[in-house]
A and B are shown apart, each in its own frame.
Chain A
Amino acid sequence: MSGAGPEAHWRAALAEGRLLLQRARASGTVIFPPRLAEPGSGDIALDWIEASGLGTVHAVTVIARKPPEPPYNVVLVDLDEHVRLMSRVEGIAPDAVTIGMRVRARIGEEDGAPLLLFEPV
């Protein structure tokens, strides 16, 4: 382990264009957000792995804003590695995003910070 904690390690990798996950060496369980130990077991033997970036929309909500501000979606995505995270699907009308839609990760930027986003496959 480097000097930084797991969250800082993950964010530094994202800034380099890499989407990392952790995998517990003993159980094989993949973990997100990054942690010091496997939830439940407390196993501290974790390895960093590169995510495939592919996933499926598990849940979706569209948030209306006062016009002319456009609506936007917030989704929960299940990555193929079996972790769930919150994100936004871009490159499609916000209300066209459906549960079960296959999506691919893209690292965008917002307020000067890298941001994990998704697009339809």
Chain B
Amino acid sequence: MGGQFPRGAASIAGLATFGIGEMPGWSSLELAAQAGLRAVADAGMTMAEVDALFICLPDDQLAGLSFAEYLGLAPRFTDCNRTGGSAFMSHVATASIMLAAGYIDCALIAYGANQRSAGGRLATPVRSNRWEAPYHPLFPASSYALAASRHMHDYGTTRAQLAEVAMAARRWADTNPEAFARGPLTIDGVLAARMLSSPLSVKDCCLVTDGAAALLLTRTDRARGGPKAPVAILGAAAATWHNAISQMPDLTTTAAAESGPRAYAMAGLGPAEIDVVQLYDAFTINTILFLEDLGFCPKGEGGRFVEGGAIAPGGRLAVNTNGGGLSCCHPGMYGLFALVEAARQVRGEATNQIGGVEVALAHGNGGTLSSQATVILGSAATL
């Protein structure tokens, strides 16, 4: 029986981003609340109608409680789930099922972080475990570097192919005014950048920015009465295979190889029917691994797949059309920003809008390639 999903029963009725880049003088809670207020207004609703909160903030283990207090809400259900940057895709799964069951009526998923203004480095309560910490890996960069080293060894993936991912993200960001990192970035520029944890240079790593995002989910029949076209949740699946990188069963295959097919089955769609793809690109190797694991190319072919600007504007597959975590924003966790960009593409209101988008995929990554979650969004025509 496991694996059922109420395809299309719930929809995104409102969405917002706020404060992407630098927001000195704002707390993480304030940023998240502002995005939440805007998402509710975008849905043509009031905050008083929100009866479920899904809040995961970088600096507050009980962020959902703080958020309820801050806005004076008394939600029926509050979720502070932490599975890393994929938490928001899991929130969509939980909220969709609760909405379909009638357990809740209106779910707000919000995130915000001021980590650039507050310190300029990744703010996370997560650390290497006791079996890894004594060897001083950079957390989390070295974990991704180890996976990249093995992918290069097994499949001949090159640093220039990793650099293609960074360059493609930058080219999308260049035409997105909301993106934090714009301007020329070449493959040679990535290759010449300061090495952080080989084979990953600083240009293979995501940004450290401030920023906030929010989604307002309700049942699709209700969302149809809102000011914006509903973006239906066609499938949402999560998979966890490990936590520490040393326990990852295969460094070149992530649990996206499970969450992806399960989400496709729920949606009744496959990779060939996805019009635009938003992948959690904390590091350049992520994009390559997820393109493979989500079925856009065979295992091991990700590096060759992205060559020649194939995922950049005008390429064969539109990936991370906002600039991604590498060039748009990465306020500690990026998952919700991938979801917002996917929903904007389905609505037809993205800054770098792709023509004729009916189906978009947003994929989240948490931990050290550990916790994977895939959400498939569709237009009214897909219902």
**Smallest CB separation, B292 vs chain A (Å):** 17
| Residues of B with C-beta under 8 A to A86 | 131-132, 135, 137, 244-246
**Smallest CB separation, B246 vs chain A (Å):** 4
Within 8 A of A (CB), among B232-281: 244-247, 251
| Residues of A with C-beta under 8 A to B153 | 59, 99-100
Which 4 pairs of residues, A with B, have the shortest CB-CB distance?
A61-B145, A59-B146, A86-B246, A59-B150
B138 at the A/B interface (Cβ < 8 Å)?
Answer: yes
Within 8 A of A (CB), among B107-165: 130-132, 134-138, 142, 145-147, 149-150, 153
| Residues of B with C-beta under 8 A to A87 | 135
Interface of B is mostly: mixed
Instruction: Choose among A33, A59, A99, A115 the residue with the greatest number of B CB atoms under 10 Å from its CB.
Output: A59
Interface residues of A (CB under 8 A from B): 7, 33, 58-64, 72, 74-76, 84-88, 95, 99-100, 110, 113, 115
- Nearest to A58 among chain B residues (CB) is B150
| Residues of A with C-beta under 8 A to B150 | 58-59, 99
- The reply to whether A64 and B195 form a contact with Cβ atoms under 8 Å apart is yes
**Smallest CB separation, A77 vs chain B (Å):** 9
Instruction: Choose among A75, A86, A88, A110 the residue with the greatest number of B CB atoms under 10 Å from its CB.
Output: A86
CB-contact partner of B149 in A7, A61, A63, under 8 A = A61
Instruction: Give the size of the chain B interface in residues (CB under 8 angstroms).
Output: 27
- The reply to whether A74 and B194 form a contact with Cβ atoms under 8 Å apart is no
- The reply to whether A88 and B135 form a contact with Cβ atoms under 8 Å apart is yes
CA distance A85 to B133 in the complex (A): 12
B196 at the A/B interface (Cβ < 8 Å)?
Answer: yes
- The reply to whether B247 and A110 form a contact with Cβ atoms under 8 Å apart is no
CB-contact partner of A64 in B134, B135, B194, under 8 A = B194
> Known: A85-B246, A86-B137, A99-B149. Contact between A61 and B251, CB under 8 A?
no
CA distance A113 to B133 in the complex (A): 13
CA distance A113 to B246 in the complex (A): 21
- The reply to whether A84 and B247 form a contact with Cβ atoms under 8 Å apart is yes
CA distance A74 to B200 in the complex (A): 13
- Nearest to A87 among chain B residues (CB) is B135
B198 at the A/B interface (Cβ < 8 Å)?
Answer: yes
CA distance A113 to B55 in the complex (A): 40
| Residues of B with C-beta under 8 A to A84 | 246-247
CB-contact partner of A72 in B136, B147, B149, under 8 A = B136
- The reply to whether B137 and A63 form a contact with Cβ atoms under 8 Å apart is yes
B197 at the A/B interface (Cβ < 8 Å)?
Answer: yes
**Smallest CB separation, A27 vs chain B (Å):** 16
